[in-house]
A and B are shown apart, each in its own frame.
Chain A
Amino acid sequence: MSTPSDDVLLDIHRRMVRIRTFETEAGRMAEAGKIPGALHLYVGEEAVAAGVMVHLSNEDWITSTHRGHGHLIAKGGEFDRMFAELFGRATGYCRGKGGSMHISNMDLGMLGANGIVGAGPPIAVGAAFSTKYRKTDRVAVTFFGDGASNEGSFHEAANMAALYKLPVIFVCENNGYGEYTPQAKHQAIVDVADRASGYGMPGVVVDGMDAMAVYEAADAAIERARAGDGPTLLECKTYRFFDHVGVRGMGLTYRTDEELAEWQKRDPIHLFEARLAELGVLSKDDAVAIHEEVLAEVRAGIEFAEASPTPDPDTLLDDVYA
């Protein structure tokens, strides 16, 4: 495994702060009725996206989920075009026609968020197959949740990836709930990584609230994939601090305030900032400055989106492929 430089540590931190700030403000906008459609926010899970994506270039692919903003931000997504997409404006990544759950950008290797649970893994396998076919060293990372690991699409993708030793990293963001259903009520296992051996690939469990745990595991899995040794199932135990949809959601009582509070004690950004301060890599003042700088960028992104036009109705059928 590589030893991260201070610059890499600061990069991981900034990616997490960018996700947290974007999502917090997006949540505010949604609850104010300014964003159409449903938003599934990534707050709490930032260490996973940041710890994985810091190893990737724009040449590498990812497939995302319905909770996909964090993945795109960590992959290099720009706030103005992201907010424009969420607001349904013509300046958005998908010209305002994709919205939160279908945002994508090929230049960044982001093959798409996806409103269908479990739809990402087969797409990543296809991308990884092209790597093998073209003899490049690009990898494909597919993010999915514990709920998605019950879908046939995941199982078929895992089987094919292992069979052809494709450079895919299956990153399970196990936040303990498939939408509103506790994991114990939708699958008989606790560690999704246990499923890996059934397909002939290694499975690893890491603390998804610890950016460095994710960083190290992703480093090893990606290195393995680039070396031609095949796929890995990397399960990150994490938690979403907001509701399944929006911030407060529908107020369902599927989880307790105490459980949320317990996980919030291990806020991935707070944990990482505390350790970076101990190491002398990032002072508390510098951390505050980064948060403020990112917040200003987020606000500029919102202004850009609000000032952008809605798509011309005449373009309704443009970019429709099927």
Chain B
Amino acid sequence: MSSRGAVGFVANPASGKDIRRITARASVFDNQEKTAMVRRCLIGLRAMSDAPIRYLADANRLVESALAELGFDGEAVDVETNGKALDTTNAAVAMRGAGAVVTLGGDGTNRAFAKGWLDAPLIPLSTGTNNAFPVMREATTAGAAAGLLVSRRIPLEAVAERAKVIHVDIEGEPPDLALIDAVLTQDRFVGARALDDPGKLVAAMLTRADPAGVGMTSVGGFAHPLAERDDATLTLTFDRASPRRVVAALAPGRFESIGLGQTRTATLGEPMRLTGPGVLAFDGERERVLAPGQAATFRTLRDGPWVVDVRKVLTRAVACGGR
């Protein structure tokens, strides 16, 4: 079945459960609350639209159980699932053409989705840990916005902004991407994934540097703020012995003093070339191992997801008349 004209749903059952619950003071986001959010979102959607619903079926049945409880119809996208981030990427491929996709998760969830559908129209709702990309927003009206966006054929350009993306080329391996930050660390393992040790930071590229954010965006934000709307990217190198330091919120409930090397605002498309050994972390999570001498290049472009502004959609819909 085609996803054209549908509203997609991806709710990540794994978000909000990593080691930062104990290494920091990250919030606990259990799956019952995620299901409740999906439920509210579906109610908002159906209040405004009869658009078909397509969703990623996960082992927790987050969307499926919400649909069943409400008596709404929906169709799971036909992808193999194994409880990994790849499920989300594959679901994104299957959802291409949908009018809007609601994601429940953190930066990692949206990154996984963007890997499957780079310019998706996203309504990203936060349920993760270091959430710079998704927003904390009530799901009810987010669902309504998804419905209106699809049913009213509101031009995406009028209510959404195109996000920046860091494209990562890795010598001899498949490429990767990040939505907020790409980092080289001196770690030796992917391990429990969360970027934890500031003493191991080598270099980073950021699409946004927000002192009000948490994670690497906070580190950049306290050094040199950069907004998502700015057509630029921030590059940083780190030096643990440097007297030039920032105190930043590396994780929820955890500030660290971090030694800076060079900080530079670069133009979009300008490459940052790094070599291993080390581990590459994307959007706060260690993801890929870089062998000694193996090169990786970061490059920020504004070719990412269309991030829908829920308020703009609703305001525009009101201006054009009710349902």
Binding site for B on A (CB under 8 A): 1, 3, 184, 189-191, 193-194, 196-197, 202-206, 210, 212-213, 215-217, 220-221, 224, 232, 237, 262, 275, 278-279
Contact = CB atoms under 8 A, between A and B. Distances in A.
A220 B60 contact: no
B191 A191 contact: no
A190 B59 contact: yes
B189 A204 contact: no
Nearest to B17: A205
B28 A202 contact: yes
A262 B82 contact: yes
B171 interface: no
A189 B62 CA distance: 10
A1 B23 contact: yes
Secondary structure class of chain A's binding surface, majority of residues: helix
Looking at B21, B60, B82, B291, which has the most chain A CB atoms within 10 Å of its CB? B21
A191 B19 contact: no
Contact of B32 (A194, A206, A217): A194
Interface size class of B (residues with CB under 8 A): 20 to 34
Give the one of A204, A232, A278 with max B CB within 10 A: A204
Interface in B23-80: 23, 28, 30-32, 59-60
A137 B175 CA distance: 47
Most chain B CB neighbours (cut-off 10 Å) among A1, A221, A237, A275: A1
Contact of A204 (B18, B31, B197, B291): B18
Given A275-B188, A278-B291, 9 more contacts: A1-B23, A190-B13, A191-B17, A191-B60, A212-B190, A212-B191, A221-B22, A262-B82, A279-B188
Given A212-B192, A216-B192, A204 B19 contact: yes
Nearest to B186: A3
A232 B23 CA distance: 11
B246 interface: no
Contacts of A279: 188
B21 to A, nearest CB: 4
Contact of A217 (B188, B190, B192): B192
Contacts of B22: 202, 204, 217, 220-221, 224, 232
A105 B319 CA distance: 75
Contacts of A205: 14, 17-18
A178 to B, nearest CB: 16
B106 to A, nearest CB: 14
B60 A189 contact: yes
Residue from A184, A197, A202 with most neighbouring chain B CB atoms (10 Å): A202
A217 B191 CA distance: 9
Interface in B276-321: 289, 291
A235 to B, nearest CB: 8
A194 B32 CA distance: 9
Nearest to B65: A188
B193 interface: yes
B31 A278 contact: no
A213 B192 contact: yes
Contacts of B60: 189-191
B210 interface: no
B87 interface: no
B196 interface: yes
Interface string B172-189: 000000000000000011
A216 B19 contact: yes
Nearest to B83: A237
A296 to B, nearest CB: 30
A190 B191 contact: no
Given A189-B60, A203-B17, A194 B191 contact: no
Given A3-B197, A216-B19, A220-B23, A189 B192 contact: no
Contacts of A237: 83
A234 B276 CA distance: 32
B31 A189 contact: yes
Contacts of A216: 19, 191-192, 196
Nearest to B58: A190
Nearest to A229: B22
B191 A196 contact: no
Contact of A194 (B19, B31, B193, B196): B31
B14 A1 contact: no
Contacts of A191: 13-14, 17, 30-31, 60
Contact of B193 (A196, A197, A213, A215): A213
A189 B291 CA distance: 39
A1 B196 contact: yes
Interface in B122-176: none
Contacts of A204: 17-19, 21-22
7 contacts: A190-B13, A190-B60, A191-B13, A194-B17, A194-B32, A210-B190, A278-B291
B190 to A, nearest CB: 7
Contacts of A196: 28
Contacts of B14: 191, 205
Contacts of B19: 204, 206, 216-217, 220
A210 B192 CA distance: 8
Contacts of B291: 278
Contacts of A224: 22
Given A194-B31, A197-B30, A278 B192 contact: no
Contacts of B18: 204-206
A196 B27 CA distance: 12
Contacts of A206: 18-19, 192
A13 to B, nearest CB: 13
A278 B32 contact: no
Q: 5 closest A-B pairs (Cβ-Cβ)? A: A212-B191, A216-B192, A202-B21, A212-B189, A194-B30
